[in-house]
Amino acid sequence: MAEAEKDDGNLAQEVDGLKRKLEDERCRLNDGNLVVISHNVDPIPTVNARVRRVLKGHQGKVLSLAWATDKRHIVSSSQDGKILVWDAFTMNKEFVISMPTTWVMACAYSPSGNYVACGGLDNKCTVYPLTPEEDPVLKKKLVATHMSYLACCQFNISDHQLLTGSGDSTCVLWDIESAQIIQSFHGHSGDVLSISLSPSESGRVFVSAGCDCCANLWDVRSGQCVQVFQGHDADVNGVRFYPSGDAFATASDDATIRLFDLRADREVAVYRKDSVIFGCNAVDFSLSAQSPH
């Protein structure tokens, strides 16, 4: 037993040494960072955000939400065990769906706007059709089942495929019609908390992040992890692709937002404020793609 523990310690030291060498080599090859390169660029004016609508209806903490492609409808999931579909303009609730579990941690809108997917502590992801003349619960379809809680989900390009991330440390691409696995993705050493598909029309890559403090880039076709990005010191709660697909941002419990460039294979910017003492739960880019929020 003592010999095995000694071997484990030696392996851990070797891994740490290799990581340091890799980071030193990246720094040597790096020709600058975003802050240095953009020092002559005029700063972006301060955004004076105003509240446009307050949507009230949940009886518990809202855990997830997603916009429809029509930029008018929103689906939200909550600790109260309900899924609400909203018209953001009129503030009306168009659908109220009761889930068999509380803590509905993930929800997503399909590209067509005809379906929503959701799941949570039931370890499952269910797809509901949004047809006014029928009860969505009666037409629901169980698509995905994980070994642990469902943390995130997203439709892949069309209404026919669904990507999920789970506390079992895996991501899985599912065929919605057959509820069969198309591809599974193994590589995280902790819970997967967030996923983001590339905005390109091919849907060939996505990035995932989680409790191992890493963000992994995956090839959808092969199921292989093609890049691993490190830098955070705590759980990575959110990840979102830059609109061009060449970079992505992450949000972490270490109270920082970090920007990673796929072409440079490294972190290019860190966003932090001394006044922010709590973790960052989510991140997204403005429509102009000038800055993360």
Answer yes or no: is 73 within a domain.
Answer: yes
Domain co-membership, 65 together with 80: yes
Calculate mean pLDDT across residues 88-113: 94
C-alpha span between 241 and 285 (Å, rounded):
8
Amino acid identity for residue 224 in this structure: Q
Nearest to 187 by CA among 202, 204, 203, 172: 172
Domain co-membership, 81 together with 144: yes
Domain co-membership, 191 together with 102: no
List residues bridging with 25 in a β-sheet: none
Q: How confident is the model at residue 62 (pLDDT cuts 50, 70, 90)?
A: very high
Calculate mean pLDDT across residues 94-98: 94
Answer yes or no: is 242 within a domain.
Answer: yes
Task: Using the predicted structure, report yes or no on whether residue 293 has a pLDDT greater than 70.
Answer: no
* 141-150, 199-208, 226-235: the lowest-pLDDT one: 199-208
Residues 125, 164 contacting (CB under 8 angstroms) = yes
pLDDT for the residue numbered 17: 79
Residues 193, 237 contacting (CB under 8 angstroms) = yes
Domain co-membership, 166 together with 267: no
Domain co-membership, 217 together with 263: yes
Task: Using the predicted structure, report yes or no on whether residue 71 has a pLDDT greater than 90.
Answer: yes
Answer yes or no: is 244 within a domain.
Answer: yes
Answer yes or no: is 220 within a domain.
Answer: yes
Residues 6+ apart with CB under 8 A from 198: 204, 205, 206, 207, 241, 245
Domain co-membership, 173 together with 254: no
Calculate mean pLDDT across residues 85-102: 94
Q: Residues 76-85: contacts with CB within 8 Å, 24+ apart?
A: 76/107, 77/104, 77/105, 77/106, 77/107, 77/118, 77/120, 78/104, 79/103, 79/104, 82/58, 83/107, 83/116, 83/118, 83/128, 84/55, 84/57, 84/58, 85/116, 85/130
Domain co-membership, 116 together with 176: yes
Answer yes or no: is 174 within a domain.
Answer: yes
C-alpha span between 176 and 163 (Å, rounded):
10
Answer yes or no: is 25 within a domain.
Answer: no
Domain co-membership, 195 together with 274: yes
217: domain CATH number is 2.130.10.10
Answer yes or no: is 4 within a domain.
Answer: no
Domain co-membership, 181 together with 195: no
Domain co-membership, 59 together with 122: yes
- Structural domain boundaries, residue 219: 187-293
Domain co-membership, 132 together with 197: no
Answer yes or no: is 49 within a domain.
Answer: no
| Residue 51: C-alpha distances to residues 18, 48, 77, 123, 145 (Å) | 48, 10, 21, 35, 38
End-to-end CA distance of the chain: 49
Q: Tally Cβ neighbours within 10 Å of residue 243.
A: 13
Percent of the chain with pLDDT over 70: 88
Calculate mean pLDDT across residues 232-248: 95
Structural domains of the chain, count: 2
Q: Mind listing the pLDDT tens digit for each residue in 141-169?
A: 999 999 999 999 999 989 999 999 999 99
Calculate mean pLDDT across residues 170-196: 97
Domain co-membership, 61 together with 168: yes
